[in-house]
Amino acid sequence: MAQKIQLVPFISLFFLLLVPIYSKNPTAQKPQPFGFLKPLQGCRKGENLAGLRDLKQYLNKFGYLNYNSSKAHDNDEFDEFLEAAMKTYQANYNLKVTGTLDFETFSKMAMPRCGVPDVINGTNSMRRNKKRHRQNNHHSRPKKLHTVSHYNFFPGFPRWPVGKTHLTYWFDLGTTHPDAIPAFARAFAKWSSYTQYFTFEETEEYEEADITIGFESGEHGDGFSFDGQGGILAHAFAPTSGMLHCDADDLWSIGALPDYTDLETVALHEIGHLLGLDHSSVEDAIMYPTITPGTVKDLHADDVQGIKALYNI
């Protein structure tokens, strides 16, 4: 049965079994992080509309815009750079490439998503969906595979070192609700089972952990702030950083519930980043960047093929 999670760690387990479990401040009336998009529907190159600077900031956050001057973001002009960024976004998400904020593009942009950029340092990994590669060894770039897939790696192919297949993970119990821990454990177990390469074990020792997990709000010290309900859900860093953070202010559930986000699904996605996978353009893949509330997803063949190619399994 689906279950809601309230991110208040001091509530007893006995109490949790007796009442519904809600997320932190579920009824709080706060602006939607991506709510600025709705009034901009239909905007196109040459227009000057209040709020376009927010669209630029959105696309800049996820790697699509890189003006030479930071001041160029701070205006409401729909210029050629914004149009080009829109087209790249649309191509990445398999939308009609119009360069305008049409309804389909607005709908995709407004969905809750991972905070990891789609374009990193100018490298658009989501469009490198050509023949994939398998490595000769763990120190070389992959060699060609015979199948066409859409999984992607971070620039530079960061990965865990050769022989480092057993990874330990630690929960920040000051921020993490107890019901969240089993969801992560199941997600780790799935990656282990599907890949037959990595194994994972929880540790209570922060200093010994390869992976650290916590729920945070707003700015939390890693340079990638959260934005509240309905925007960025979580983020994780490429190997071997091991940091994984979820937004404590989002609506979390265990299982499919309308308007809530399934924690295990997001955990599967972010663990993929921890192992070295970047975003995929395959909508059914766990590494696809956005998720519809109430959706439960599992690992996809594209995700498994990506890890096997990266680690030459």
pLDDT tens digits, 242-264? 999 999 999 999 999 999 999 99
Q: Which domains are assigned to the chain?
A: 35-110 (1.10.101.10), 126-311 (3.40.390.10)
- Give percent above pLDDT 70 in the chain: 83
Is pLDDT at 34 greater than 80 in this prediction?
yes
The confidence score (pLDDT) of residue 25 equals: 52
Using alpha carbons, select from 37, 26, 15 the residue that is nearest to residue 293.
26
- More confident site: 21 or 277: 277
The confidence score (pLDDT) of residue 30 equals: 65
Is pLDDT at 133 greater than 50 in this prediction?
no
pLDDT tens digits, 259-270? 999 999 999 999
HSE (CB half, 13 Å, CA atoms) of 93? 23
The confidence score (pLDDT) of residue 22 equals: 38
DSSP per residue, 163-228: T--EEEEEE-TTT--TTHHHHHHHHHHHHHHHHSS-EEEE-S-GGG-SEEEEEE-S--SSS-----
Is pLDDT at 28 greater than 70 in this prediction?
no
287 has binding-site annotation: yes
227 has binding-site annotation: yes
Is pLDDT at 70 greater than 80 in this prediction?
no
Is pLDDT at 218 greater than 80 in this prediction?
yes
249 has binding-site annotation: no
270 is known as an active-site residue: yes
Alpha-carbon dihedral angle through residues 124, 130, 131, 132, given to the nearest 10 degrees: 20
pLDDT tens digits, 146-185? 344 689 999 999 999 999 999 999 999 999 989 999 999 9
Dist. CA 257–CA 270, nearest whole Å: 20
272 has binding-site annotation: no
Mean pLDDT over all residues of the chain?
A: 87
Peptide bond into 240 cis (omega under 30): yes
Is pLDDT at 144 greater than 60 in this prediction?
no
Residue of 202, 208, 270, 283 marked active site: 270
269 has binding-site annotation: yes
The confidence score (pLDDT) of residue 69 equals: 59
